[in-house]
Structure 1
Amino acid sequence: MRRYLDTAFATLGAIVVTIFAVIMALIFMQVINRFFLGLPLFWTEEVVRMLLVWMVLLGTPVVVYQCDEIKVELFHFKNKHLETCRYVLVAILSIIFCAFLAYWGYRFTLRALGTMQPSLGISRAWLYAPISLGGMLTIIAFVVRRDALNEQSDEEDLT
């Protein structure tokens, strides 16, 4: 099962890297067209904005699954039991936040189905769809992620 999860999240990571490469190519193309050729492309700004939202919200589950998120620890307990409780509490609060994100992202997506992007001519829902998708995938990532607490205690044992 772990192999399938690793493959799924690695594929999601590859999608995020591809989106980033497309964003960079579009920005480069826009700069060349606008400042050197004098022919600005009217659609690139909206595409880049939309792809940026997709990249961030699809990248979050990958980071969570790999336990690579930035950690700001205000409290660090020497007691292993208290440290485990803190870790579980943070995970539960994060899952609740992602559930709200998924729910409200879904609501925004439904509300935006009837509106169109001005220059692209596609539904504005494509801008909001990654919010609910990213929230749901992040919840899954929190549930199935590698055991960060054991990895963290292993690192502390080595020092």
Structure 2
Amino acid sequence: MLALFQALEKFLKLLVTFANGLMLVLVFIQVITRYVFSWTPAWGEELARYLFVWVVFLSMPLVASYGGHMCIETLTSRVKGATLKFLNIVADIFSIIFLGIMVYYGCIMVARTSFQTSPAMQLPMSYVYVVIPFGCAVMLIYVIINLIKTLQTPASEIKPKGSE
């Protein structure tokens, strides 16, 4: 199972890196064509926008796997032991609920947009939105794993997230 998660993480890193690079090139070309030729291809801006959505939702699980998501550090840096463990458990439970909602409604959105196409590229919009339930589902798995680890760790060994 660990090998599967490592392969998934490696694939996500590769995909995010490629999408970021492609987005950089597209935006650079958009700027050059706008100021040099006073013309920009409509598909370039649209593709860059969709790549940005993909980068965001594919990066979320990667950040979650490192425990790097936002937390209220002013609170968690001041508590230790059982209180910190309790706060981490509550945060993970709320994250699981939120991500479950995102996966559910993301799937509904993908189904509803399967008949719509993007204006410039004529790409089915479900291709754009499929990353939302996918990214949230992968992140949900990481949060569940983190919750299990937190529950198994003695309160005296719990450290604030991101300090590992």
TM-score range (shorter-chain normalised) is 0.7 to 0.9
- For 1:118, the aligned partner's letter is P
Equivalent residues of 1:10, 1:62 under 8 A apart: no
Q: Equivalent residue of 1:126, what SS?
A: helix
Specify the alignment match of 2:54 in structure 1: 54
1:10 and 1:88 mapped to 2: Cα distance?
28
Specify the alignment match of 2:125 in structure 1: 124
1:4 and 1:71 mapped to 2: Cα distance?
28
What runs of 5+ residues in structure 1 fail to find an aligned partner? none
Specify the alignment match of 1:114 in structure 2: 115
1:6 and 1:125 mapped to 2: Cα distance?
28
- The sequence identity of aligned pairs, in percent, is 22
Equivalent residues of 1:13, 1:62 under 8 A apart: yes
Q: Alignment length, in residue pairs?
A: 155
When the two chains are superposed, the root-mean-square deviation of aligned CA atoms in Å is 2.4
Q: Which range moved further: 66-75 or 37-46?
A: 66-75
Specify the alignment match of 2:18 in structure 1: 18
What runs of 5+ residues in structure 2 fail to find an aligned partner? none
Specify the alignment match of 1:152 in structure 2: 159
Q: In the TM superposition, what is the alpha-carbon distance from 1:145 to its structure 2 partner?
A: 4.6
1:67 and 1:87 mapped to 2: Cα distance?
11
Q: In the TM superposition, what is the alpha-carbon distance from 1:5 to its structure 2 partner?
A: 2.0
Q: In the TM superposition, what is the alpha-carbon distance from 1:3 to its structure 2 partner?
A: 4.3
1:97 and 1:78 mapped to 2: Cα distance?
25
Q: Equivalent residue of 1:117, what SS?
A: coil
1:1-159 to structure 2, matched below 5 A, reads: 1-76=1-76, 78-145=79-146, 152=159
1:4 and 1:123 mapped to 2: Cα distance?
30
Q: In the TM superposition, what is the alpha-carbon distance from 1:69 to its structure 2 partner?
A: 1.6
Equivalent residues of 2:99, 2:136 under 8 A apart: yes
Relative to structure 1, is the Cα distance of residues 145 and 2 closer, same or farther in structure 2, using a 3 angstrom cutoff?
Answer: farther
- Per-residue deviation, residues 75-133 of structure 1 (Å, max 9, x unmatched): 33645112111101101110110111111111111000111111101111122111111
Equivalent residues of 1:34, 1:41 under 8 A apart: no
Equivalent residues of 2:114, 2:124 under 8 A apart: yes
1:79 and 1:63 mapped to 2: Cα distance?
23
1:79 and 1:152 mapped to 2: Cα distance?
7
1:79 and 1:106 mapped to 2: Cα distance?
39
Relative to structure 1, is the Cα distance of residues 4 and 113 closer, same or farther in structure 2, using a 3 angstrom cutoff?
Answer: closer
Q: In the TM superposition, what is the alpha-carbon distance from 1:8 to its structure 2 partner?
A: 2.0
